Amino acid sequence: MEDDLESGDRTYGENITYVAISSDGSIVAKFNPYGPSILIEKVTENDKTTIRFDKNEFFDNSTSIGGILGWSLAISNIIDNENDIGLVAISCITEKNMNSKEIKKVNPIKLYIKLQKQMLLNWPYFTGKQYQLFWTSSQGMTKLFKFSFKNNNDDNNNSIYKYNLGGVIFFLNNSKNLSNSATLVCMNLIKIQKIYIKLNINITAFEEDCYILPENLFKELESVKNAERNWKYLIKSRYQEFLMIDSTSDSKTIQSIELYNINTLQLVNVFHRRREDDDFLISRNNDPGIFTVTTDSRLF
In this predicted structure, which of 67-71, 86-90, 176-180 has the lowest mean pLDDT?
A: 176-180
Give the CA diameter of the chain: 59
251-256: long-range contacts, CB 8 A cutoff, minimum separation 24: 255/280, 255/281, 255/282
pLDDT score, position 43: 93
- Averaging pLDDT over each range in 73-77, 214-218, 224-228, which range is the top one? 73-77
Higher pLDDT, 284 or 67: 67
* Per-residue pLDDT at 12 exceeds 80: no
User: What is this structure's pTM?
Assistant: 0.81
**% the chain with pLDDT above 90:** 23
pLDDT (average), residues 105-118: 51
* Per-residue pLDDT at 27 exceeds 90: yes
- Averaging pLDDT over each range in 140-149, 156-165, 217-226, 276-285, which range is the top one? 140-149
* Per-residue pLDDT at 295 exceeds 80: no
pLDDT tens-digit readout, 57-82: 787 655 555 678 899 999 999 998 88
Would you mind telling me the total number of residues written for the chain in this entry? 300
Q: How many C-alpha atoms does 54 have within 13 Å on its Cβ side? A: 7
pLDDT (average), residues 49-54: 90
125 — pLDDT class (breaks 50, 70, 90): very low
pLDDT tens-digit readout, 28-44: 999 999 999 999 999 98
Distance in angstroms (rounded) separating the CA atoms of residues 272 and 187: 26
* Per-residue pLDDT at 4 exceeds 60: no
* Per-residue pLDDT at 127 exceeds 50: no
- Report the amino acid identity of residue 294: T
Q: How far is CA 243 from CA 40, 74, 217, 240, 288, in A?
A: 27, 17, 9, 8, 11
